[in-house]
């Protein structure tokens, strides 16, 4: 499924190495409403800062994105390169540069090879309409092992509209706004304020609650374009059908976030940490994130070790308020901790640990709030991949 009114193109610029498509463009055939969320890391890549300025207008026509180079920690030249990349695409498309959003992912601290990017731009724009959204998903991969995409359809004003999204990310994932890169497009018309609210809420429930290695990227960006090709009256916060749009977007971003964690660098298991009956949602999230980020928990999962003590310890230092003598812990459906002490189910729990998907449930018995965080195990391959990242 693809929303109406969008075209795509990919090209090879040999940004990091030759032999693959590593630059792509998403173009809306109509003026689109834009919304975005960006990394909260103090160190922000040049394209992130560029997009943060442009997003204030709430308007856009194109996104140009490259893999192989993050254009982060590259000084004023990096800022010039980000804007030049946007300007090159805008010139070819005959649109304002302010309507083109540049995004990058890859190695930090290396200048953009503009001498290779410039000559690739005519071919990129010439190819518009010859590539698919999935082709763009492939072009933005770095250490990802597969492209990530998802779609939803929903009825608006008697007609079916589509929301589609792609993302990349497998490492340096502990987002505090979004994932490494995520691009969502829809043919449903949505008013700027409502679009930003829906995206921010969806990101909070999905990308902000995944972690692979505890590192927040310099390039985290999530952008959504709504071009109104469906022909509906723009949805607002008060529209009757806005709740359905918001729900569909929530589902889409959660599906994408699961794909990111499933593809975690070196990962062999997908892990969902669910904390229930916390005093409030903030406490539930604190405990869940502490457990999900714990290297000791993640290595225990990899080793099929039902070491629930590491989970109790992580919940304890999370600063969530609860009575340890009331807490319960499950591995899938096997209860291993009852009121803070062992339930003598280690053998059954070990069998659960061997499965490809594991749910760790912690009941704090401190209230009625809950939160879930997605993570993965930590393996030797994660170390190998990142030790060789620049080679």
Q: For residues 284 and 365, is the Cβ–Cβ distance under 8 A?
A: no
CA proximity to 64, closest of 111, 108, 1, 120:
120
> DSSP string spanning 221-234?
EEEEEE--TT-PPP
According to DSSP, residue 42 is labeled S
Q: Which two tokens stand for residue 171?
A: 């490492």
Is 179 catalytic? The answer is yes
Q: Which two tokens stand for residue 169?
A: 């990310």
Phi-psi region at 223: left, alpha or beta (left = phi > 0; alpha = psi -120 to 50): beta
Measure the CA–CA gap between 178 and 257, rounded to whole angstroms.
9
Q: For residues 260 and 337, is the Cβ–Cβ distance under 8 A?
A: no
Q: Which two tokens stand for residue 109?
A: 């601290």
Measure the CA–CA gap between 124 and 131, rounded to whole angstroms.
10
CA proximity to 181, closest of 67, 270, 81, 87:
67
CA proximity to 265, closest of 132, 115, 103, 381:
381
Annotated catalytic residue: which of 179, 253, 361, 375? Answer: 179
CA dist 376 to 9, 255, 259, 295, 302, Å?
33, 15, 11, 10, 9
Q: Where do runs of H (alpha helix) occur along the chain?
A: 46-54, 75-93, 114-126, 133-139, 192-205, 242-262, 281-293, 295-302, 308-317, 346-353, 380-387
According to DSSP, residue 255 is labeled H
CA proximity to 179, closest of 241, 126, 113, 103:
103
Q: Look-up: residue for tokens 């709030």?
A: 369
Q: Look-up: residue for tokens 């004023």?
A: 76
Q: For residues 167 and 183, is the Cβ–Cβ distance under 8 A?
A: yes
Q: Look-up: residue for tokens 């039902």?
A: 306
Which SS3 state, helix, strand or coil, does residue 364 take? coil
Mind telling me the catalytic residues? 179
């Amino acid at each position: 499924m693809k929303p109406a009114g969008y075209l795509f193109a990919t090209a090879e610029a040999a940004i990091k190495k030759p032999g693959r498509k590593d630059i792509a463009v998403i173009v809306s055939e109509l003026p689109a409403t834009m919304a975005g969320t960006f990394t909260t890391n103090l160190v922000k890549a040049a394209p992130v800062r560029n997009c943060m300025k442009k997003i204030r207008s709430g308007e856009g026509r194109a996104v140009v994105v490259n893999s192989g180079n993050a254009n982060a920690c590259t000084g004023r030249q990096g800022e010039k390169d980000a804007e030049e990349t946007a300007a090159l695409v805008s010139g070819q498309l005959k649109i304002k540069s302010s309507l083109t959003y540049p995004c990058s992912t890859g190695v930090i601290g290396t200048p953009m090879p503009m001498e290779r990017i410039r000559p690739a731009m005519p071919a990129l724009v010439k190819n518009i309409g010859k590539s698919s959204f999935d082709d763009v998903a492939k072009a933005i991969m770095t250490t990802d092992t597969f492209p990530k995409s998802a779609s939803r359809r929903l009825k608006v004003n008697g007609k079916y509209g589509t929301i589609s999204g792609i993302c990349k990310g497998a490492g340096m994932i502990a987002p505090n706004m979004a994932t490494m890169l995520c691009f969502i497009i829809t043919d449903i018309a949505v008013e700027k304020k409502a679009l930003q609210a829906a995206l921010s809420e969806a990101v909070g429930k999905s990308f902000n609650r995944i972690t692979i290695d505890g590192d927040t990227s310099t390039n985290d960006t999530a952008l959504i374009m709504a071009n109104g090709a469906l022909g509906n009256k723009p949805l607002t916060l008060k529209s009757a059908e806005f709740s359905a749009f918001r729900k569909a977007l929530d589902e889409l971003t959660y599906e994408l976030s699961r794909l990111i964690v499933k593809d975690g660098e070196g990962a062999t298991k997908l892990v969902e940490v669910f904390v229930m009956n916390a005093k409030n949602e903030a406490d539930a999230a604190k405990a869940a994130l502490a457990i999900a980020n714990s290297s000791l928990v993640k290595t225990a999962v990899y080793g099929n070790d039902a070491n629930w003590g590491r989970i109790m310890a992580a919940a304890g230092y999370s600063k969530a308020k609860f009575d340890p003598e009331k807490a319960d812990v499950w591995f899938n459906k096997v209860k291993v901790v009852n009121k803070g002490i062992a339930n003598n189910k280690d053998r059954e729990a070990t069998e659960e640990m061997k499965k490809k998907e594991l749910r760790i449930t912690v009941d704090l018995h401190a209230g009625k709030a809950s939160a879930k965080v997605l993570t993965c195990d930590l393996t030797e391959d994660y170390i190998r991949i990142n030790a060789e990242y620049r080679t």
